[in-house]
Each structure stands twice: as structure tokens, then as C-alpha cells.
């Protein structure tokens, strides 16, 4: 996507008025925040060269945009937008798709991480529950938050899905549809005999759909890697969200293992129609407090700010043009345009210094017929419109005076 300032449907990022900065009538890429990185990748490798070497290319392309800001409220947040495209290589419509966001958090010492899930914040997270060899008593917490899930159609007119693309490009609202929330949160562990990294597409799919590596749904009452605390009935805990309890209050389904954890938040199922990308936005959020549990609280506050920024369509991070990069260095009066003209034309001029500016119009006999500028102006570039209604056809002179500078040019009025 790009901002189509001139509305012609083509990406042509030209500085049309040569002022050294962007104007709203000009095209520009989709810029959000202070830093942005874009890349595109696909699954086009032959299966023999793939990690799961029994899967042929499926014709999936991902356009990834990473953006962030130095604004104090959001300086601990990285936003990532995934535009996922079905090119139609194997099917016009690919159904039952799940999208997963996976991390190996490694908070300081990689071997002592703990994981959790905050369903209210649509997040999975890493934290520590003891002193860390690198960070000490206040190890940071790391959240992965789903801000904009894929669109699924409900055909209920009161439902609305939203695709946010920033203040310049705007938002798209889709009636009769919803954005998916997180569907599952799971984890797996480096080197663990039962919950190790997936070694094939079946195991990966199992994790994506809330199961363990071999396809079993864990029982919160008996799952060996955690326990349900705080008087909560373990039979009432939703098994789709592993360790959905609150470590800060020590209530709910809590992870009891310190391991080399991997975290996986997934959303689905949804369809991928050929040529119609699904737009998913997530946030990576860090918080560091006075101790390892307070870091979770701080991170949650930062997550809430990230959610608010997304819901405002990134209002804080919207692009605003910088000052012109090519400063005015000399007095210039440009030829009017259009020329010849009827009945209006435009004058452009540049002032390297402040001063009283006069621009007068003379007929071919030297008689002044109009004064169009007579005022003090600061050093800058200017553009004014002149309407020649009431003047006869012919050749005219326009003269500019400012400080010790005087210049003039001819123009032709044709009626």
C-alpha cells in the first residue's frame, strides 16, 4: 500500500512543487512511526530445501512491515504488520488457515524463562519468577499481542471488521465480518522429550491448534508443566489458552517450569482468497519494573498503550513532514504558469531574507494596473494566484521588489 496523494492510482513519489518536503497532494510510501523496515518473502523453495521437506510450495507471499517510534509512551513497542497473500498456485481459496506468532524469548539466561497468556490483552508473554543471572531481580517481561486479527465473514450486518493502515491511508471497515481474536496459546521447550520443537508439518499444525506435539489437548488439572492456583476449579479453566492465570496475583493456571521456552500465539481459522491479502498486525512489547513480577505489570501497561495506538489508527505515530531540506539561498521570481493564461495564473517566488514584498502588474505601456502583493513576508517560498478579470487581452509585465532586489517578467493574457 501507499498514499496516493494525486489520486491517479500509480505510485509516483515525486516532489511536484520542489519544496524539498512531502505535501498531501504527492504520493508517499506507507510510513508510520520514526523507523520502518519492509520486506517480502514467500514459500517458493522446492520442498527438498525446506525445513519441513515434504511440503511443496503453496504460493504464499508475506509482505512484512516493522515500525516503531521513540515517543515515550510507545518506546518499548515494536509493531509488525503481515500482509499474507495467496497467489493462487495451488488453489483459488485456501481454507482452514491458522497464523502463528512464535518467539524464543531468552530473557537473560535462556534456560529459566516462564510463559503465560493474558486473554484480556490478546497476548502471550515471557517472564521470570526468580532472580536472573543477567538481569537480576527485575528481569523484563516480553509480551506478544495480537492487535488486528485476520478477517472472517459472519454475514451479520451488525458485525464490522477493521483494517487499520495509518492516518494517511486510513481504515477499511468491512460489514458482515469480524477480526479473529487469538484462538490458542501454547508453548514448547527446546530439547524437551514431550514438548520439543515441531519436527514436521503435522506437529506444527498441532501446536497451532492448541494441542501438544502429538495432538493431545492438555488438561489443566493434570498438565505436568503447571498447576491451577488460587481456589480456581481446574475443570473450568479453558484449555485453549495454556497458562492463562495471573502470575502477579498467583491465581489461575500458572506455569511451574523454568525452561528454554518458546511461545506461540495463533489465530484462525480463516480463508485466503487468491489476490486478496489478509492483514494481521501484532506488537512486541517489553516492560521492566522493580522486580520480575512488577515487570509483568509494567509490560501490561505498555500493551494497553499499544492497543490504544492501534485503535486510534496510529494517530501518535502518523507522519508529519519535516522542514524543507533545500533552504532558500537567493531571490527568485519564476515564470508564471500557465502562460499564456485566461483568466488566472500562478506566481511563485523565493525570499532568502525577510522584507516588504511588492508585486505589481503593468501593461505594455508601463501603466500599473494591479498590485497583488504589498506586505512584509518572512524568508520562504511563496505561491499566489492572480485573476485577470477586468483586464484586456495583451502582454503584461509583473515586477517584484523586496529589499534591494528588483526583477520582472512578461506574461500574456488571452481572452
- Whole-angstrom Cα distance, residue 292 to residue 216? 32
Domain architecture of the chain: domains with CATH: 31-311 (no CATH), 332-413 (2.60.40.1930)
Q: For 80-112, how does the pLDDT look when each residue is reduced to its tens digit (9 = 90+)?
A: 999 999 999 999 999 999 999 999 999 999 999
Given a cut of 70, whether residue 324 has pLDDT beyond it is no
Q: In what order do the strands lie in the sheet with 60-68?
A: 35-42, 60-68, 77-86, 278-287, 141-148, 123-127, 114-118
249 vs 30, more confident: 249
pLDDT at 276: 97
Q: For 17-56, how does the pLDDT look when each residue is reduced to its tens digit (9 = 90+)?
A: 777 778 888 998 888 999 999 999 999 999 999 988 999 9
Q: For 384-400, how does the pLDDT look when each residue is reduced to its tens digit (9 = 90+)?
A: 999 999 999 999 999 99
Structure pTM? 0.77
The mean pLDDT of 131-150, rounded to a whole number, is: 97
DSSP state of 49: G
| Selection from 242, 115, 262, 253 nearest residue 196 by Cα | 262
Q: What is the 3-state secondary structure (H, E, C) of 377-411?
A: ECCEEEEEEEECCCCCCEEEEEEEEECCEEEEEEE
Q: Which neighbouring-strand residues pair with 410?
A: 397
Amino acid at each position: 500500500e501507499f498514499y496516493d496523494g494525486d489520486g491517479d492510482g500509480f505510485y509516483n513519489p515525486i516532489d511536484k512543487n520542489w519544496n524539498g518536503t512531502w505535501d498531501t497532494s504527492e504520493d508517499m510510501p506507507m510510513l508510520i512511526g520514526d523507523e520502518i523496515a519492509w520486506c517480502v518473502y514467500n514459500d517458493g523453495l522446492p520442498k527438498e530445501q525446506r525445513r519441513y521437506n515434504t511440503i511443496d510450495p503453496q504460493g504464499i507471499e508475506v509482505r512484512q512491515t516493522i515500525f516503531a517510534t521513540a515517543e515515550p509512551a510507545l518506546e518499548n513497542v515494536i509493531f509488525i504488520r503481515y500482509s499474507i497473500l495467496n497467489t493462487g498456485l495451488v488453489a483459488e481459496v485456501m481454507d482452514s488457515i491458522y497464523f502463528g506468532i512464535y518467539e524464543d524469548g531468552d530473557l537473560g539466561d535462556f534456560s529459566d524463562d516462564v510463559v503465560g497468556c493474558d486473554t484480556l490483552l490478546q497476548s502471550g508473554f515471557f517472564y521470570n519468577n526468580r532472580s536472573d543471572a543477567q538481569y537480576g531481580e527485575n528481569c523484563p517481561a516480553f509480551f506478544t499481542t495480537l492487535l488486528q486479527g485476520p478477517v472472517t465473514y459472519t454475514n451479520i450486518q451488525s458485525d464490522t471488521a477493521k483494517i487499520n493502515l495509518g492516518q494517511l491511508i486510513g481504515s477499511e471497515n468491512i460489514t458482515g465480518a469480524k477480526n479473529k481474536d487469538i484462538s490458542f496459546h501454547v508453548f514448547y521447550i527446546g530439547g524437551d522429550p514431550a514438548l520439543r520443537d515441531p519436527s514436521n508439518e503435522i506437529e506444527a499444525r498441532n501446536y497451532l491448534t492448541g494441542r501438544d506435539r502429538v495432538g493431545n489437548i492438555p488438561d489443566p488439572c493434570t498438565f505436568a508443566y503447571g498447576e491451577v492456583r488460587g481456589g480456581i476449579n481446574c475443570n473450568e479453566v479453558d484449555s485453549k489458552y495454556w497458562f492463562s492465570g495471573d502470575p502477579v496475583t498467583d491465581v489461575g493456571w500458572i506455569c511451574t517450569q523454568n525452561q528454554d521456552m518458546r511461545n506461540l500465539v495463533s489465530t484462525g481459522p480463516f480463508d485466503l482468497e487468491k489476490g486478496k491479502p489478509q492483514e494481521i498486525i501484532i506488537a512486541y512489547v517489553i516492560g521492566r519494573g522493580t522486580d520480575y513480577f512488577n515487570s509483568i505489570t509494567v509490560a501490561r501497561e505498555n500493551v494497553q498503550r499499544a492497543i490504544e495506538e492501534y485503535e486510534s489508527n496510529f494517530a501518535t505515530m502518523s507522519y508529519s513532514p519535516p522542514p524543507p531540506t533545500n533552504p532558500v539561498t537567493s531571490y527568485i521570481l519564476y515564470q508564471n504558469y500557465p502562460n499564456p493564461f485566461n483568466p488566472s495564473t500562478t506566481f511563485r517566488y523565493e525570499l532568502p531574507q525577510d522584507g516588504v514584498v511588492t508585486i505589481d502588474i503593468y501593461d505594455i505601456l508601463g501603466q500599473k494596473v494591479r498590485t497583488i502583493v504589498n506586505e512584509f513576508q518572512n524568508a520562504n517560498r511563496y505561491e499566489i494566484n492572480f485573476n485577470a478579470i477586468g483586464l484586456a487581452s495583451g502582454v503584461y509585465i509583473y515586477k517584484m521588489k523586496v529589499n534591494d532586489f528588483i526583477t520582472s517578467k512578461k506574461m500574456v493574457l488571452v481572452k
